[in-house]
Amino acid sequence: MMAAQAAAQPPRPIDAAPPFTTTLSNNVPLAFGMDEQQTARALGAPLTYISGRPGEEILLALRTAGGSGFFDRRDRLYLQFRAGRLTGWRGDWGRNWMWQSP
């Protein structure tokens, strides 16, 4: 009887799944410090002035996000700028009129 030598196989590479945050449907391509033009380009939507003095304003981006096929969904995204740079943002999806009772 001949003895077979045992040989270890190299480990197979692990298929790394993307981080959870990259798979979210509400993933926004924004970064702190962007200026107004970079922000508008990243969102693919024009920015509308809401309030504040020059360089310290709050702007609004209306983003159309698909919807059901019958209705487009328009999400409001409020953007805070200080010294002309993006310092924060907040999404506002409003009230869902589809579920209101008559």
For the segment 10-64, what is each residue's pLDDT rounded down to a tens digit? 776 666 666 655 555 555 688 899 999 999 998 888 999 999 998 899 999 987 6
Residues near 78 by Cβ (< 8 Å), separated by ≥ 6?
A: 50, 58, 59, 60, 89, 90, 91, 92
Using a cut of 0.75, tell me whether the model's pTM lies above it: no
- Give me the pLDDT at residue 80, please: 95
